[in-house]
Amino acid sequence: MIKKYIKREKYLKKIKPFIDTELIKVLTGQRRVGKSYLLFQIMDLIIKKNSNANVIYINKEQLKFDDIKNYQDLWKYIKKNSLKSKKNYVFIDEIQDIDQFEKTLRSLNADKNYDIYCTGSNAKLLSGELATFLSGRYLEINVHSLDYREFLQFHKLKNNEDAFGKYIKFGGLPYLRHLKLEEEIVFDYLQNIYDTILLKDVVSRYNIRNISFLKDLSRYLADNIGTLVSAKKISDFLLSQKIKVSPNIVLDYLSFLGDAFLIYKVPRIDIKGKKIFEINEKYYFEDLGLRNAIIGYHQSDINQILENLVHKHLLGLGYEVFVGKLKEKEIDFVAERKNERIYVQVAYRIHKNNINREFENLLEIPDNYKKMVVSVDPYMGHTTYRGIEQAHIRDFLLRDL
């Protein structure tokens, strides 16, 4: 491919073992997090491995593919561009815009001469009936905006306070590497991306009429990161603002924003009983830059920002993340991955007056899983307090745990 890019090795490492297998590889994630460029990187890997490969590329965001509207159009285009004498590698960008695309994927998947890769910007892409239809035939890889390590790499920055400040203010959308990291420039770009996500992935997809409420809800969530939220609480708040919206409508709109990967819902879990509570969850943003584009960046929000960073990092490492409840106390994050579990508390500063409070909740957990407190205290090296590790946020974001 002629596209220039910086390799995102952590995703290529996940994909490489599945090249030339019968599984359909599906990259999902919010718009503009770099899924399209990952497709280009996979193409280059394949061509390097097999110079005789026949690559078929479809990008539904390009006008020349506008005629591909349903599975029949998709089937005809792929068959027209296939070669019987070569292995065919099919790449489809933003596949959710093709009606009943799964019928074509399943048929191609039955033909051993096709290796299939696609991207989608909707979390329900592979759910419900579709998941059943393609059961056992696909591998889903969730792609996120740049983590802190990638941000330093993309912007050629050293790990210091200035670089960290840019990261928490502007976020990790890959295209920012082509812009000056100045507020007016970056936030104009991010506002356009936010509008695109709302209009294309929420309003158009779900036939939303109350766009004003959708934006109000986004602002509410951006202003309440790390706060326990319920549909009724939001409905009551809106009523106080003389906006009448039922809790059921709030729930629907929250799910739509989640389906577009703009936000992530983090449910609460009882640490002892492992029961998941069905109300009062927390919400975090996929990208802090987009969050800041919605309500502005304020240093006074640092506690919320730190929590969002820790959640994003845990998610990017493949953990399933919960808010922990231990009797009447709360653990910021309980992260689980296979047979692993880690508990993380997030604090701005640790000092003599609050050190017991910040560590107390973790000390009361009756198991031996790893426990950490993450803060922005001046770098102190590897330290522990009564067996609990204390980590600087920048060190935490550069670790694989």
Helix (H, G, I), strand (E, B) or coil at 52: coil
pLDDT at 302 over 90: yes
For residue range 188-198, what is the model confidence (pLDDT) as tens digits? Answer: 999 999 999 99
Number of structural domains the chain divides into: 2
What Cα–Cα distance (Å) separates residue 212 from each residue in 215, 219, 241?
5, 11, 13
Same domain, 118 and 161: no
Q: How many residues does the chain have?
A: 401
What Cα–Cα distance (Å) separates residue 332 from each residue in 241, 299, 301, 306, 310?
30, 21, 16, 11, 10
pLDDT band, very low/low/confident/very high, at 124 (cuts 50, 70, 90):
confident
- Given this model, what pLDDT does residue 385 score? 82
- Paired tokens of 119: 């991207």
Residue with the larger pLDDT of the pair 237 and 202: 202
- Given this model, what pLDDT does residue 125 score? 83
Same domain, 259 and 277: yes
Angle at 179 between CA 177 and CA 185, to 5 degrees: 140
- Given this model, what pLDDT does residue 382 score? 65
Let me know if residue 385 belongs to a domain: yes
Closest to 27 measured CA to CA, from 11, 43, 13: 11
Q: What is the mean pLDDT of the chain?
A: 93
Same domain, 197 and 116: no
The C-alpha atoms of residue 42 and residue 37 are separated, in whole angstroms, by 9
Neighbours of 275 (CB within 10 A): 11
Sheet with 383-385: list strands edge to edge.
268-270, 320-326, 329-337, 340-346, 370-375, 388-392, 383-385
Mean per-residue pLDDT, 34-42: 97
CATH number at residue 126: 3.40.50.300
pLDDT at 128 over 90: no
* Domain's final residue, options 142, 170, 191: 142
> Domain limits at 30?
9-142
The C-alpha atoms of residue 226 and residue 281 are separated, in whole angstroms, by 9
- Given this model, what pLDDT does residue 328 score? 87
Same domain, 360 and 382: yes
- Given this model, what pLDDT does residue 86 score? 95
Can you point out the beta strands (E) in 155-310? 263-266, 268-270, 282-285
Same domain, 248 and 347: yes
- Given this model, what pLDDT does residue 294 score? 97
Same domain, 153 and 135: no
